[in-house]
Amino acid sequence: MADAYVVEPDVGFINEIKGLGGGDLKKCFQCATCSVACPIAPDNKPFPRKEMIAASWGLKDKLVGNGDIWLCHNCGDCSTLCPRGAKPGDVLSAIRAYAVIEYGPVKAIGKLINNPKMLPVVLGIPAVLFIVIGLITGLLDFTPEGDKIAHGHFFSTWLVDIMMIPAAIWTVANFAIGIKRFLGDMHRNALQDGKTDIQKIDPKGFIMGLVRVILPILKHDKFNECSENKDRATAHMMVLFGFIGLFIVTNIFFVALYGLQLHGPYSQLNPVKWLGNVAGISLIIGSLLMIKNRLAKKEDQVSSYKDWWLIIWALSLGVTGLLAEMTRLAGVAGLSYFIYFVHLMFVWSLFFFIAYSKLAHLVYRTMALGYNEYIGRQ
Amino acid sequence: MDKKCGVYICEGCGIGDAIDIKDLCAVPEEEGLPVKTHPFLCGKDGLKLIQKDIADGTNTLVIGACSRRVNYDVFKFDGCIVDRVNLREQVVWSHPRSEFPALTEEQKDDDEHFDKLLMLAEDYLKMGMAKVEKIDLPEPHVVDSLSKKILIIGGGVTGMSAALDAAKTGYEVTIIEKEATLGGHAAHWRKQLPPQPPYEELVSPMADSLIRDVEAEDNITVRTETVVARIAGEPGEFVVTLKKPGEKIEFDVPFPLPDEMKVDADGKDLDVDKQHEAYLKFNKGKNDILTIDPDGEMFGAVVLAAGWRPYEPEEGEFAHLGLGELPDVVTNTQFEAIAKKGKITRPSDGREAQSVVFIQSPGNGSDNDFDYAGSVTSMVALKQATYVREDYDEGKAYVFYQHMRTPGLHENFYKSIQQDPGIFLTKGEVVSVSKNGKGLVIEADNTLLGDKIKVKADMVVLGTGMIPATKDDPIINLAYRQGPGFRDNALFNDYADSNFICFPYETQRTGIYAAGGIRRALTVEESMEDASGAALKAIQCIESTNRGVSVHPRSGDMTFPDFFFQRCTQCKRCTEECPFGALDDDEKGTPKPNPTRCRRCGTCMGACPERIIGFADYNIDSIGSMVKSIGVPSEDDYDEPPMRILGLICENDAYPALDIAGLNRLSYSADVRFIPVRCLGSVNVIWIKDALSQGMDGVFLMGCKHGDDYQCHFVKGSELAEIRMKKIGDALQSLALENERVTQFEVSIDEYDKIPQLVNEFVEMVEDIGPNPFKGF
């Protein structure tokens, strides 16, 4: 038998979880309806009952490194059936937001983007960076010439990449650090709570686990097990595939630009362009659907700042991207350049803040699902 | 009164369809009694028919219609003796023609066939006719000098609330309080649990405002530093002697001889005279219970609100929780006192207690809460947890419970406490409390957080219970032959109660109504509700006594037991068996009835071997005559005569259950004849002997459950009946009859669906034994 666990409640943690969208967590009276209702909780040590008591006791150490909070897809079955209105789904979501901040190496950034009052700063950072660096390097041309409108004339692709590549590297580095700590914690927690007998993670096995979960993730298998908010799977799928499509397009054009020295804008007949347009539209429709779903579910589901932040960002990204393209084709130069500028701001901040925003679930949930697959927890 | 009898038979509700009413009318006609039928007797025309006869002088009515439990107000005729013959629920509804067919013309006169249903209806009609012949209209018992004053014992929240409620309705009230001031425990708390909706916030203790209200009320007299020396007499005219606490006076009530003094030096039982001698010696200087204090104060009824005292753990009782060894482990009462003084500090070193653990169950392998605890102790833990949070911003309060009981809307209180981020609740068994540096460490198993956890704390509070004052002191000091206190309190964990659900406030002593902490571990709000209930009961008692009727549960019953003393053998059975101590006896052992203490159950009538006790409308003869009027067919009548079985049915739960069975058209044997009895305790063995000696094949009693969770409306009735039925075996053997022919069933009111099976199985069993050899003699 393991030694007795010394309970040391952290009231500050409880208050932070409340602020991150888990405001009803103290209403839980431990009936475990949630764990029974959850279609995706494993049979051995199911969630979210145990997470709910840990949260109301402020046991940060039992939650932040707990892989189970990531197995949850916040489908809302538990929240709908909860007899006390404790909204376990939203509490787990808030704990995830806290965990993301916790695993980001620079906590101040996490706090920054989760604070609605700091929104002007979050928006201002890329704008100021772009303008300052653009002016210093001279890569920002406020009087672009040429008959054809090309965004590159106004906003040099060099400048874009000077900004974007470090942001990408930054994010990868952040995630690398975060994942390393997260995996360690998750494994320790699994051992402590008796979720697994495997003492040490075998990297090969773990990676195999990761590979096995990729297809189910893309197919949204877990999402589809939910009954309460099944329609959310469609919206999420559209947004996810929109991002994937845009990621592919960006990479192809990156190669085209630097490898093949082909400068944009590219022809509308180019199939890559088709993919980009379709992905952009998918992103917009997907995020609009998400907004619609959230507004329709005001009673059952908490929509906190962190949730709106990500959806609005995704929507803005798609809208500004498509508008920039459309105004360019329509020949409205000034407006097109301005929208392009806004678009780049959104792209950069999404890039830069991924590891601290709700979008980080892309990485942490994948890791948790992979780990879960690896330890064979059903 | 000169009886002029009339029989009325209703043909409605299927009675006329199943039975040929002409055949039935032949029964009274044979006796020369006028009989009238009507298709709808409870309707306007039907009633007119009866009323016309009453106007013409009929004063004794046998009404063959529905159960007496329905339409009782319709078939109520002042100044008339009425018996309701249950032709509907217990004849036609429970014996469908499909199962009990009518005879064809050819079958009618052979010796082979008989109409069981008609026989059943005929017998019931005969029984009704026999009964009305033997009963009289009751006359009320009037007390000599009725007092309408109410005595309230205990000046805490409960006593004061009861006093205010009773005083506001115009009754004079005297509160006696043994302490020097009113207020009780509630005056010494920091805060009180929420007394009203929405039940979310704690309030300031209400004791002070109650004291002000009591002082302002003209109808209330307060006597502090006063206790009861004895309460003599009976409801309506209790004679109460009061005294200062600790005083010894001649009107202190004599106590029964303790068991250890009933034996001699060798441990052998002393004989009756020696015991009496020892009793007199033991109670030297005290007047006998029958000596009335000439200076005693008269009261009509008593509310017992003597309350509770905090549980005092024995040395080492909760050693595993550190109580007694670690100064910072205290009980909830001690914690309240600390909280009342100011900020919560540790008893050991006076340092701030910022983190406090509340333990609700002593553990040790059991999941019981502390003794004498209840929902109130759960809620007190929640209340005291908020003190920690009030006093310290960083305060933390942990509650370990096995049961978190917040009944009714107090769930709102639980919910509001739960919201505090610094209050932590979990089910779990606390295994140990031990020292950890300057603080304490609490170890718990099986919690909601996991198998084994530890919590560090500055203080530990045990949710110990509330001991009722009646646990070891009679308090009421009744000058009753059965003793000064309540009997059977052990059945109710020492609380002064008589039955948990059905009869709150009523104790086993009529006219004494318990309320508040003496009755159960209660909150202030619950105690105040109790107080209102007990005050109303006391008023009901006084007014019922004033009208000469029974208080409860036979509310309004005007009859009372009548003793034919010339034949009394002073056996004292009635005095001893009366569940309510209604009978005192004098030196010779002759019972002295106290009619207003009586609840009219008839247990004395069932107990009396000389059969000298009876009621105007319910006596040995009336039931005996009913038994004798049952037709017992023998082989002279039919080739294979049907069995005849007598069922004596408790009218409180079993009789309604039978009616419900009929209402649900559940059918059962038509060979059984039911007679309702007030309580199985009133069943006199002679009725059973009568039944068997006239050839009936079996007898069963059907009544309430007894034992720890008894449902008997008269506490002891069904239990006493069972004892008497066991003793009847010898008598049966002397008649060469099998013991199995007499039995007792326990049913509750909702077990109507089981009754047909019980009845049928008994009939089959008797059929297997064979007919009673006394048949036909």
Q: Report the candidate in B536, B406, B525, B377 with the shortest Cα–Cα distance to residue B465.
A: B377
Instruction: Give the HSE-up count for residue B12: Cα atoms under 13 Å, Cβ half-sphere.
Output: 14
Interchain CB distance below 8 Å, B415 and A8: no
Closest CA to B95 of B661, B642, B629: B661
Is the same domain home to B7 and B130?
Answer: yes
For chain A, say whether B393 makes contact (Cβ under 8 Å).
Answer: no
CA atoms within 13 A on the CB side of B205: 16
C-alpha distance from A192 to closest chain B C-alpha (Å): 11
> Does residue B532 share a domain with residue B578?
no
Structure-token pair, residue B715: 């506490």
Which one of B116, B137, B158 terminates a domain? Answer: B137
**CATH number of the domain to which B686 belongs:** 3.40.50
Position B145 in a domain: no
Which residues have C-beta within 8 Å of that of residue B231, sequence separation ≥ 6?
Answer: B151, B238, B239, B240, B241, B299, B302, B476, B477, B478, B479, B512
ipTM of the complex: 0.87
Residues of chain B under the 50 pLDDT cut: none
For testing contact with chain A, the best of B432, B448, B455 (most A CBs within 10 A): B448
Q: Are A236 and A223 in contact (CB under 8 A)?
A: yes
- Chain B residue with minimal CA distance to A18? B421
- Answer yes or no: is B720 within a domain: yes
Is residue B637 located within the same domain as residue B769? yes
Statement to judge: residues B456 and B424 lie in one domain: yes
What percentage of chain A has pLDDT greater than the value 70?
A: 99
Number of Cβ within 10 Å of residue B707's Cβ equals 12
Determine what percent of chain B falls in helix, strand and coil, rounding each to the nearest 5.
Answer: 35, 20, 45
- Alpha helix positions (H), B255-364: 272-282, 332-341
- Domains along the sequence of chain A with CATH: 11-103 (1.10.1060.10), 109-375 (no CATH)
Determine the Cα angle at B630 with ends B628 and B634, to 5°: 105
For residue B405, give the nearest of B378, B370, B438 by alpha carbon: B378
pLDDT tens digit sequence for A305-347: 999 999 999 999 999 999 999 998 888 888 888 899 899 989 9
Q: Considering the entire predicted model, what is its pTM? A: 0.87
Report long-range pairs for B164-167 (Cβ below 8 Å, ≥24 apart): B164/B210, B164/B213, B164/B214, B164/B217, B164/B220, B165/B531, B165/B532, B165/B535, B165/B536, B166/B219, B166/B303, B166/B535, B166/B538, B166/B539, B167/B217, B167/B218, B167/B219, B167/B220
Q: Name A238's Cβ contacts closer than 8 Å, sequence gap at least 6.
A: A282, A283, A285, A286, A289
Region A30-58 average pLDDT: 94
Q: Does A57 touch chain B (CB under 8 A)?
A: yes
Question: Closest Cα of chain B to A45: distance in Å?
Answer: 11
**Which pLDDT belongs to residue A139?**
78
Q: Is residue B552 part of a domain?
A: no
CA pair distance B438, B495, nearest whole angstrom: 41
Task: Say if residues B172 and B391 touch (Cβ distance below 8 Å).
Answer: no
Q: Does B416 touch chain A (CB under 8 A)?
A: no
Q: Is residue A12 over pLDDT 90?
A: yes
Query: Is B557 a member of any domain?
Result: no
Question: Domain limits at B583?
Answer: 562-614
Best to test chain B binding among A7, A34, A56 (most B CBs inside 10 Å): A7
Query: Which of B498, B520, B547 represents a domain boundary (last residue)?
Result: B547
In 3D space, the residue among B437, B356, B357 whose CA is nearest the CA of residue B395 turns out to be B356
Give the nearest chain B residue to A8 (CA atoms).
Answer: B455
Contact B452 A1 (CB under 8 A): yes
Q: Give domain status of residue B556, yes or no.
A: no
If asked whether residues B109 and B68 sit together in one domain, one would say yes
CA distance A225 to chain B (A): 28
The answer for residues whose C-beta is within 8 angstroms of residue A223's C-beta and 6 or more apart is A73, A75, A230, A232, A233, A236, A237
B218 and B264 fall within a common domain: no
B541 and B574 belong to one structural domain: no
Query: Rounded CA gap, B640 and B650, in Å?
Result: 31
CB-CB contact of B695 with B631 (8 Å): no
Phi–psi pair at B232, nearest 5 degrees: -110, 170
Q: Is A14 on the interface with B (CB under 8 A)?
A: yes
Instruction: Give the CA distances from residue B214 to residues A193, B174, B217, B759, in Å, rounded to whole numbers and listed in that order.
Output: 60, 11, 5, 58
Q: What per-residue confidence (pLDDT) applies to A2? A: 55
| Bridge partners (DSSP) listed for residue B462 | B331, B359
Smallest CA–CA separation between B427 and chain A, in Å?
Answer: 9
Q: Looking at the 3D structure of chain B, how many domains does it have? A: 6
CA B571, CA A82: separation in Å to the nearest integer?
67
What the block records as the tokens of A30 is 């431990």
Closest Cβ–Cβ partner in A1, A5, A14 for B453: A5
- Contact between B424 and A9 using a beta-carbon 8 Å cutoff: yes
- Note whether residue B197 is domain-resident: yes
3-state secondary structure of B329: strand
C-alpha A265/C-alpha A150 separation (Å) is 6
| pLDDT at B732 (0 to 100) | 87
**Same structural domain, B600 and B681:** no
Mutation target vs A (from B418, B430, B434, B443; most A CBs, 10 A cutoff): B418
What is the interface size between A and B, counted as CB pairs within 8 Å?
61
| One domain for residues B53 and B180 | no
Are residues B672 and B648 located together in one domain of the fold? yes
Among the partner residues B396, B419, B443, nearest to A9 by beta-carbon distance: B396
Residue B713 DSSP class: T
Task: Please indicate if any CB of chain A lies within 8 Å of the CB of B394.
Answer: yes
Nearest residue of chain B to residue A2 (CA atoms): B452
Q: Could you tell me the CATH number of the domain that includes residue B514?
A: 3.50.50.60
Q: How far is CA B131 from CA B62, B125, B391, B540, in A?
A: 9, 10, 74, 31
User: Which of B517, B547, B577 is where one domain is finished?
Assistant: B547
What is the overall mean pLDDT for chain A?
A: 90
CA A46 to chain centre: 24
Of the candidates A23, A73, A17, the residue with the CA atom closest to the CA atom of residue A48: A73
Q: What angle do CA B689, B695, B698 make, to 5 degrees?
A: 65
CA distances from B361 to B374, B408, B428, B517 (A): 11, 22, 9, 20
From the list B516, B648, B676, the residue with the least C-alpha distance to B153 is: B516
Pairing verdict, β B297-299 and B237-243: antiparallel
Per-residue pLDDT for A95 more than 60?
yes
Residue B56 lies in a domain: yes
CB contacts, 8 Å: A85 with chain B: none
What CATH number does residue B569 fall under?
3.30.70.20
Torsion of CA B142, B717, B238, B554, to 10 degrees: -40
Distance from CA of B413 to the nearest CA of A (A): 12
Q: What is the pLDDT of residue B501?
A: 66
Whether B130 is in a domain gets the answer yes
User: In the structure, what pLDDT confidence band is assigned to residue A76 with cuts at 50, 70 and 90?
Assistant: confident
pLDDT at B651: 95
Residues B514, B375 share a domain: no
What confidence score (pLDDT) does residue A146 get?
67
- DSSP state string for B335-402: HHHHHHHSS-B-TTT--B--EEEEE----TT----STT--HHHHHHHHHHHHHHHHH-TT-EEEEEES
Scan residues 75-114 of A and list those with Cβ closer than 8 Å to B: 84
- Whether residue B357 sits in one domain with residue B318: yes
pLDDT at A1: 42
> B422–A7: do the CB atoms touch at under 8 Å?
no
Q: Residue B557 in 3-state DSSP?
A: coil
The total of other beta-carbon atoms located within 10 Å of residue B350's CB is 8
Residue B431, chain A, CB below 8 Å: the answer is no
Chain B positions touching A18 (Cβ under 8 A) are 421
Tokens standing for residue B583: 């009978």
- pLDDT computed for residue A239 by the predictor: 95
Amino acid at B72: Y
For B572, the token pair is 């004292």
